[in-house]
Structure 1
Amino acid sequence: MRLVVLSGAGISAESGIPTFRDAQTGLWARFDAEHLATEAAFRADPALVWGWYRWRAAMVAAAMPNAAHRDVAALADEDGHALTVVTQNVDDLHERGGARDVLHLHGRLLASRCIGCSARVTPDPILAPPLPPAGGTRESPPACAACGAAFRPDVVWFGESLPTDAWRAAEAAVNACDLLVVVGTSSLVWPAAGLPDRALHAGTPVLEINPQPTPLSARATAHWPMTATAGLARLRAHVREGAGDVLRPWAG
């Protein structure tokens, strides 16, 4: 069976990583995350935005994959199915959980590049010591040795296009899959929110795992109202029992 897992912040929330829409804390409490995650905000106050991303990167680096990340990887490694993970998350928990084919639609938090010439350096400055204190702090981004411009997080900010290669690979994976599993995503962020409809229009079953209903829930082949860890454990049991028959009902 060819599986695609489309994941969002909910799958990493159980590892202690706040979702993007959660209230900010500490130094960042008075800021709206969506206002910090723009090129305009970075150019207006690079120390503020770089410091926020350094704080978030430190949280991600300290977090551990949870059972849902491991169960996603086990669908391929233990259960023998072809698996592509398409994630809207900027963390690396899918990879650390064992998944090998992971497409990051919104970039990677634990990497950075020059905003001017896209140069990269090793070690990456977004994780270079000293890491920010627990509550975070303002911090000026380093300057690029090649062009003098500032380093920025290697993520997709609001108003920016998705990485072309990752998006095309995601579309191709969804076109070819036998089951699309949508887990932990609000189904509000486009164009990723359109991938389930691509599958449904092709007659491919779409299973949504989310404790709360989303705009996708009414259209999905099935909606399981549960956490990512509970849902992925249940999915693995269903896949084993189904003997590869993805056309059988995926209802609860």
Structure 2
Amino acid sequence: MRGPETQEQSHLCEIISLGVAGQVPLQVPCPRAPTLAPRAIPPLPLTSLGPPPSQTFFPNQGVTHLPPPNPTSWAWPPHPHPFQDSDSDSEEGAAGGEAEMDFLRNLFSQTLGLGSQKERLLDSLTLEGVARYMLSERCRRVICLVGAGISTSAGIPDFRSPSTGLYANLQKYHLPYPEAIFEIGYFKKHPEPFFALAKELYPGQFKPTLCHYFIRLLKEKGLLVRCYTQNIDTLERVAGLEPEDLVEAHGTFHTSHCVSPLCQQEYPLSWMKEKIFSEVTPKCEKCQSVVKPDIVFFGENLPARFFSCIQSDFRKVDLLIIMGTTLQVQPFASLIGKAPLSTPRLLINKEKTGQTDPFLGMMMGLGGGMDFDSKKAYRDVAWLGDCDQGCLALADLLGWKKELEDLVRKEHTSIDAQSGSGHPNPTTSASPSKSPPPTKEEAGTTEGEKPQ
């Protein structure tokens, strides 16, 4: 038996009921009813993920079409410690109810910030405030979340731009709809369009941008915990990040596998490159099935590394830097809600994004949204403009500008020497010494400054 429920318990039960109805991906026992067997409900079908939205070798991010839901494509582990119901006396029941209430308070505190202490670590919600925080003793662990926007200055198109994005320029492949080129079912039947596109946008034809080298500089300064990337263009690796520095959320082009579940033979990058540039559809040497690069298509699961790294990386992160992403593709977009409530979050992007309503986000399993403009804003900063210019502005405030520019110049010279013919896009903004002064729009503005 359980003791009488309190008003707080009643209120939380109602919230939990709403959560269950909305398929919250959490197992929460209701204090006024026996605990049922644990359930694992997917927050969103992985099929809503999108072409390796920004990524290992071509454009980068986002989707406008979502395939039909496929619940079996999501595998999020159930809560490891579900409560067990007890038939003890009322005193034990009351104690158990209080323990459950503690769990619920922590749950909603972490997810929505209800009843929690939101410590403000930034002295101002500006890029200057972020820079001062980064130079302090309190900022030692930085995670970067990046998307297609950090690679567009290298000449790689994103997915969504109306006239220049990938989806707007696929007519020549005669697809039933643009997103089909990244759907696993369509690929298995018609792989030719994908590999034709792969030849156009193959890794190695582009140089990393200033943004990529800023992330490398974070590593060299001992600040980078991990870079979570939606991109499949491999430019993070070219810029000098090691595999352990990266979580390639939408896969990688460095390895490929046979699509037959009975075979799954692995092939190296060199093998795939030879097939693509000889305009031969890669076929498995063992079973003659199509071989696909290990990038995530619609209808495929994310790499296991994505989920395993989240568990350790976000517990003690001191700063999130989010760059060049619309934060519309799940589950990547939910990462902004994984950091502790006091952790500052800097967005460097052409427009504000990630502003999902926190309560709605919790109900859908998306995490808490960013708050740049309300009176309650205390940790989120938006710098609006070109990602390269944003990183350069931050580097300047940190005293790293010359070091960053020298690194970009040195690495680009090395890449040009190795290629022998120079870069196919010599006018990219990733060469700061040759770039014209930024326009007012390119220079960007910092949003979200609030009175102290």
- Listed as ranges, the matches of 1:95-174 within 5 Å are 95-100=237-242, 101-116=245-260, 117-122=263-268, 124-128=270-274, 131=277, 139-174=279-314
- State the distance in 2 between where 1:43 and 1:228 align: 36
Give 1:7 deviation, angstroms: 0.5
Give 1:232 deviation, angstroms: 1.5
- State the distance in 2 between where 1:171 and 1:50 align: 35
What secondary structure sits across from 2:347 in the alignment? strand
Structure with greater strand share of residues: 1
What secondary structure sits across from 1:86 in the alignment? strand
- State the distance in 2 between where 1:123 and 1:87 align: 19
- State the distance in 2 between where 1:122 and 1:189 align: 28
Q: 1:32 to 1:231 in 2, by over 3 A?
A: farther
Q: Which shows bigger deviation, 152-161 or 48-57? A: 48-57
Matched, 1:204 2:346: no
What letter corresponds to residue 265 of structure 2 in structure 1?
A
What letter corresponds to residue 202 of structure 1 in structure 2?
L
Of residues 387, 390, 413, the one that matches 1:231 is 390
- State the distance in 1 between where 2:310 and 2:200 align: 29
What letter corresponds to residue 165 of structure 1 in structure 2?
R
Partner of 1:52: 197
Partner of 2:206: 63
- State the distance in 2 between where 1:32 and 1:2 align: 42
Give 1:24 deviation, angstroms: 1.7
1:167-188 per-residue CA deviation (whole Å, 9 max, x = no partner) reads 3214432233110111000100
Partner of 2:334: 194
Q: 1:110 to 1:92 in 2, by over 3 A?
A: same
Which runs of 5 or more residues in structure 2 are unaligned?
A: 1-139, 356-368, 373-379, 401-446
- State the distance in 2 between where 1:31 and 1:12 align: 28
Using structure 2 for the length normalisation, give the TM-score: 0.48
Using structure 1 for the length normalisation, give the TM-score: 0.82
Give 1:156 deviation, angstroms: 0.3
Q: 1:180 to 1:115 in 2, by over 3 A?
A: same
1:204-248 per-residue CA deviation (whole Å, 9 max, x = no partner) reads 11111101122338526111102111112233344569xxxxxxx
Q: 1:229 to 1:153 in 2, by over 3 A?
A: same
- State the distance in 2 between where 1:177 and 1:90 align: 25
Partner of 1:12: 151
Q: 1:222 to 1:31 in 2, by over 3 A?
A: farther
The CA RMSD measured in Å over matched residues stands at: 2.7
Contact 1:37 / 1:158 at 8 angstroms: preserved in 2? yes
What secondary structure sits across from 1:113 in the alignment? strand
- State the distance in 2 between where 1:49 and 1:187 align: 25
Identity of aligned residues (%): 27
Matched, 1:27 2:166: no
Partner of 1:247: none
- State the distance in 1 between where 2:276 and 2:296 align: 25
